[in-house]
């Protein structure tokens, strides 16, 4: 990093040119590394562009963040993914069904969709007409599963558990099961979920159903000692 900054200073001093420093996954930089960049961002030696898949308000130093503009990149729309897939295979007529499926299952992640179509092309033999046909079955095997947007340390983690608790509090079993499934599918610690259910049973249900806490505690003990069914 010191060499990069030195080169940026030389470029600014000799040619009056500022340097754009792009750091991918900037959340992997520790506090000391981020602090090192701060004075050079302040004096204009470098124009810092940092990309992260984490919540920058948790992972980037406050001092650095206060001198930055934060832009949240939204997932691509399904139609955008379909256009990318068509460009990738250079054919706007074949395999529309698989395009639709991959565009929907990619969850707005273009890289996931492109990787899937690439895998399908590389692993599928040409038909008698000399064309590689990506069927819905092939597309399903290539995409494997939808990626769940879930960050155990960021806002999404707390948003989902909050929605789960509110669903139980509001006596909405469908919503509660949906958020429970999303957390389990994303790999959330089942003991964390069990503790939240016990809290809900004790604080929200209470004497309205005295057995609710007993059932919640029993379920928590069972999942901790035995694991998932």
Per-residue pLDDT of the chain (229 residues; tens, 9 = 90+): 778 888 888 888 888 888 898 999 888 888 888 888 888 888 888 899 999 888 888 788 888 888 888 888 888 888 888 887 777 666 545 544 566 667 776 767 787 778 887 787 778 888 888 777 777 777 777 776 554 555 555 667 788 888 999 999 989 999 999 999 888 887 788 888 999 999 999 999 999 998 999 999 999 999 888 887 7
54 φ/ψ angles, rounded to the nearest 5 degrees: -95, 175
Residues 212 and 201 sit within 8 Å (Cβ to Cβ): yes
C-alpha span between 12 and 194 (Å, rounded): 57
**Would you give the DSSP letter of residue 130?**
S
Residue 131 CB-half CA count within 13 A: 10
pLDDT for 67: 85
The total number of residues written for the chain in this structure: 229
Residue for token pair 């003990």: 221
Residue with token string 């003991």: 191
pTM given for the model:
0.46
pLDDT of residue 95: 46
- CA distances to 97, 130, 132 from 127, rounded to whole Å, are 17, 5, 6
pLDDT of res. 222: 92
Quote the distance between the C-alpha of residue 120 and its chain's center. Answer: 24
User: What pLDDT does 49 receive?
Assistant: 92
| pLDDT for the residue 145 | 52
């Amino acid at each position: 990093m010191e060499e990069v900054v030195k080169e940026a200073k030389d470029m600014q001093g000799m040619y009056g040119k500022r340097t754009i420093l792009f750091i991918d996954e900037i959340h992997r930089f520790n506090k000391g590394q981020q602090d090192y960049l701060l004075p050079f961002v302040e004096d204009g030696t470098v124009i810092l562009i940092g990309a992260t898949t984490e919540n920058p308000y948790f992972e980037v130093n406050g001092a650095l963040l206060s001198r930055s503009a934060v832009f949240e990149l939204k997932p691509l729309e399904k139609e955008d993914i379909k256009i990318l897939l068509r460009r990738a295979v250079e054919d706007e007529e074949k395999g529309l069904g698989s395009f639709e499926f991959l565009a929907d299952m990619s969850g707005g992640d273009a890289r996931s969709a492109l990787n899937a179509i690439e895998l399908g092309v590389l692993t599928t033999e040409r038909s008698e007409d000399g064309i590689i046909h990506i069927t819905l079955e092939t597309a399903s095997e290539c995409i494997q599963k939808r990626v769940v947007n879930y960050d155990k340390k960021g806002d999404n983690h707390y948003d989902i558990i909050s929605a789960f608790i509110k669903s139980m509090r509001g006596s909405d079993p469908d919503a509660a099961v949906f958020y429970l499934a999303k957390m389990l599918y994303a790999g959330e610690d089942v003991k964390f979920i069990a503790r939240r259910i016990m809290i809900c049973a004790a604080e929200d249900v209470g004497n309205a159903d005295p057995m609710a806490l007993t059932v919640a505690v029993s379920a928590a003990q069972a999942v901790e000692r035995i694991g998932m069914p």
